[in-house]
Structure 1
Amino acid sequence: MSIEEFVPKTRTSIDNLGFLFGAGTSFESGYPLVGGLTKQVVGALRGDERTVLDEALATFGQSYDDASGTPNIEEISDMVIEHHTNSQLERFGALKEKIRELVRDAILGVERPDISNQVAFFERLKGRAFDRATDVWVFTTNYDLLFEDACAEVGLKMVNGFIGATTRYYAEREFSTVSGTISGGRFSQEGSLTVRIVKLHGSVSWFRKGERVFEAAPGAINEAEARCMVLPRRTKVLETLSKPYDRLFRLSSLILGDKCKHLISSGFSFGDSHINETLITPKIDSGAISFSNFCLEEPSSLNSSRGRPNVWHFCKDKTVNGGRETEASRDTWKFSEFVKLF
């Protein structure tokens, strides 16, 4: 199987191609999935913090099971934040920030992550650009820096909305800039692949000062400065309505169906209803994009669109297109196998 089988135009060009990447693309590099992250975060809570967590969950008739790691970190975050909003008690606000801190620590605690899959992915895309001016969009909810590091390793230009040197500042206009040369008053665009990365939930390298958002090496960020990351949640509406996330979602909505007409997903669970309802489902249902999802199991959260001809789900044991299921056996739900498609 290769990319040409579901996106035929890639035989000659990968322009208008975009990717939606989730935690599954970082798992083989050493980062935890939701289940592992849940156990790691809850296990790191102090005794008094765990008591506050139990109190928050009890208001929803729930309790945390240490053995199974349920409810997971997304569901826990939803309940803690909702209870803090309703109660306005400081201990629940403090727990919310503690969870954010522990999620950050879990990401930063992975020493020397393996970027070989990400490097292979970008090397293959670079070969398909044929030394022409080409843009590829990457939309991701991952906090880690695997794709940024891989771009540097392969020698690709990466645009992520920040401008500067050691400390960079966020400027949305950067997403629309192009590189090139001027000769005799004529502009010639640089003939190479540019990777434009939109991090929908922030990054371990982002921090906030007042109303402005900056980027720096994670180790250079002062702990007194607010790390700019949206907590793992099922419903992230409130946080994603604030800057810069509101702008990133608006940008993504404008790009999908215009500069990105073919969206390919890997390692994404579609558990975030805000992304589904704001970005994915409307673009699928309007026919603005073709959508190909490589997954272990078909996501039930996209059931309303599964019958559309522009939707493909390539699962471990079946292929679904236009609502029709065909038996199949494949390992492309693993990112290491997914990259070989290109």
Structure 2
Amino acid sequence: MSEIKTRNDTAVIYFNGLGKKYEKPTAGDFLLNGHPVKGDDNEILPEDRVVSLIKQETANFISHHFTQIVLLAGAGSSISGLLGKQKVGSSMRDLTTEVEKTLKEKKLLTLEQLADLSKYEIDDCKASDFNLEDLMSCIERAEKYISEKDKTAFDKTYEDIHKTIRVATSYEYDPNILHHDRIIKMLSDRVVAPNKLTIATTNYDTLFEDAAKAQDFSVVDGFSYDANPVFDADNFEWNLVRDIPNLATSELEYKKQVINLIKLHGSLTWERDTDGLVHRRLKTQVSQPIMIFPSSDKYLQSYTEPYFDLFSKFQELLNRPDTLLITNGFSFGDNHISQMVHHAIMHNGGLSVMITDNNITSQSSSGWLDIYNLMEARYPVIFVKSTLNSLSDYLGEVPQ
């Protein structure tokens, strides 16, 4: 397996399988494959010209009339700031640090003690390199095997971790800081009805729902349209249509402002009732939200409702012809999702993939490197350094 090799002081801006790798050292001019970027006159291009060139090449990559567009948003897509002064969103590292702080303040079990009781083997519980999701998944599997003398402390600690994560991810959408609304509009404009833009996310927050609502978009998330929404995957197959007046035919008009939303890891607004049905409610009405913590090697929960249906829908979309997948803030550390994407790139000749992330050179998961290797093998994959807020700069105009 190859590694992503760059200079230590370099921020990779753009690289693709056609052998182009643009880099910007902290001191110096842009580099293309290690050499200064020059124009037709052999003069070194200024930074603004190179950035425009990168944006144009990226826009060209997605200029095709794709039938399906899927945006896969990970934890990084919810993290943005306004001029570096305000921050919204929490990375998994942030959540782990917050959990450690809570457990210490409340004198509950430490992460090390939880790992020991759950038979979860770790080398280090520090937030910098500890996988909280793996531990949570292991805790859930071990819960019924915990001895009576440890069970009270174990259950209380587990409950408080859930509460900490719920509070830490329960931020509200602020259009002055976040640009989810802009991305929804730009990508949705590229999709021709009856197809819909699909946003798949591993985040528990409601930023995409709130951003869509602010623009009068209807969100199809698998739940029924009634006073007490219940999950049913068949709802993804429906469209919103209306009759066209004054026409003798039975022609229908599709509502353009509709998106699919696939929340692969659950949501702060989901809760299961005593009959096992999954309901969507207001965040203030949910006491035990449904959140999945997938481990790196076992996905027992993802084969239960609603996760099985959600993962199946996501996989089915990736395997459709003429599809564009854009990822943002997703590290490919979730093997289940990573393998779906990897398989689709290799076997779906009609799939193009644009990987975007603000930490494009520091990702080291096996899933990330696997996708990078496919790019180097000339599969239709490009990497772009971008937050969700700046993603709109690389999308270009809607193809005519």
Query: Smaller-chain TM-score range?
Result: 0.7 to 0.9
Matched ranges for 1:231-270 at <5 A: 231=293, 233-235=295-297, 237-258=299-320, 261-270=323-332
After superposition, the C-alpha distances for 1:262-299 in whole angstroms (9 at most, x for unaligned) are 1111110111111122x212111113522221132355
Distance 2:188 2:180 in 1: 12
Q: Does 1:174 align with 2:235?
A: yes
| SS of alignment partner, residue 270 of structure 1 | coil
Using CA pairs under 8 Å that are at least 6 residues apart, name the structure with larger relative contact order, 1 or 2.
Answer: 2
> Against the structure 1 CA distance between its residues 38 and 294, is the aligned structure 2 distance closer, same or farther, given a 3 Å change threshold?
same
The 1:142–1:284 alpha-carbon spacing in structure 2 relative to 1, beyond 3 Å, is same
- For the residue of structure 1 that corresponds to 2:67, the secondary structure is coil
CA deviations over 1:233-288 (Å, ceiling 9, x no partner) = 444601111111011111222222227721111110111111122x2121111135
Q: Is residue 208 of structure 1 aligned with residue 208 of structure 2?
A: no
Distance change in 2, residues 1:135/1:104 (3 Å): same
Within the candidate set 64, 74, 84, 1:22 is matched to 74
Paired letter, 1:334: T
1:48 aligns with 2:119: no
How far has the Cα of 1:157 moved from its partner?
A: 2.3
Residue pairs, 1:160-309, within 5 angstroms: 160-182=221-243, 186-209=250-273, 210-221=275-286, 223=287, 226-231=288-293, 233-235=295-297, 237-258=299-320, 261-277=323-339, 279-288=340-349, 289-295=351-357, 296-297=360-361, 300-305=366-371, 306-307=373-374, 308-309=377-378
Distance 1:75 1:171 in 2: 28
Report the TM-score when normalising by structure 1: 0.80
Native 8 Å contact 2:73 2:199 kept in 1: yes
- Matched pairs, number: 315
Q: Which residue of 1 aligns with 2:95?
A: 37
* Alpha-carbon separation, structure 1, partners of 2:316 and 2:191: 23
Residue in structure 2 matching 1:147, options 194, 197, 208: 208
- Contact 1:17–1:262 under 8 Å retained in 2: yes
**Equivalents in 2 of 1:58, 1:125: separation in Å?**
44
Q: Are residues 63 and 294 of structure 1, via their aligned partners in 2, closer, same or farther at CA, if it must alter by over 3 Å?
A: closer
Task: Specify whether residues 286 and 104 from structure 1 end up closer, same or farther in structure 2 by C-alpha distance, changes over 3 A only.
Answer: same
Of Structure 1 and Structure 2, the greater helix share is in 1
Q: Deviations over 1:51-109 (max 9, x none)?
A: 843644886254533xx54424224324534554665663545544432232112112x
Structure 1 unaligned spans of 5+? 316-331
Taking a change above 3 Å as real, the CA distance of residues 166 and 254 of structure 1, as seen in their structure-2 partners, is same
- The residue identity in structure 2 corresponding to 1:15 is T
Q: 1:75–1:6: structure 2 CA closer, same or farther, 3 Å change rule?
A: same
Report the more deviating stretch, 81-90 or 264-273.
Answer: 81-90
CA distance in 1, matches of 2:196, 2:178: 22
How far the C-alpha of 1:121 sits from its partner, in A, is 1.2
Contact 2:198/2:260 (8 A) holds in 1? yes
Larger deviation: 228-237 or 188-197? 228-237
Displacement of 1:165 in angstroms is: 4.1
Corresponding residue for residue 323 of structure 1: none
Cα displacement (A) at 1:174: 0.9
Offset at residue 113 of structure 1 (A)? 4.5
Report the identity percentage.
21
- Cα separation, partners in 2 of 1:337 and 1:112, compared to 1, 3 Å: closer
Tell me the distance in 2 between the aligned counterparts of 1:95 and 1:185.
63
TM-score, length basis structure 2: 0.70
Distance 1:101 1:241, change over 3 A: farther
SS at match of 1:214: strand
Rounded Cα–Cα distance in structure 2 between residues aligned with 1:214 and 1:267: 28
* Offset of residue 27 of structure 1: 0.5
Give the secondary-structure state (helix, strand or coil) at the position aligned to 2:332: coil
**Match of residue 341 from structure 1:** 394
Residue 286 to residue 49, structure 1, CA distance change in 2 (3 Å): same
Task: State yes or no: 1:117 paired with 2:169.
Answer: no
Measure, in 2, the Cα distance between the counterparts of 1:274 and 1:157. 29
Deviation at 1:147, TM superposition (A): 0.7
The answer to whether the Cα contact below 8 Å between 1:290 and 1:311 also exists between their aligned partners in 2 is yes
Q: Could you say what secondary structure the match of 2:90 adopts?
A: coil
Letter in 2 for 1:242: T
What is the rounded CA distance, in whole Å, between the counterparts of 2:298 and 2:159 in structure 1? 15
> What's the CA shift for 1:140?
0.8
Question: Is the 8 Å Cα contact of residues 191 and 197 (structure 2) preserved in structure 1?
Answer: no
2:162 to 83, 97, 100: 100
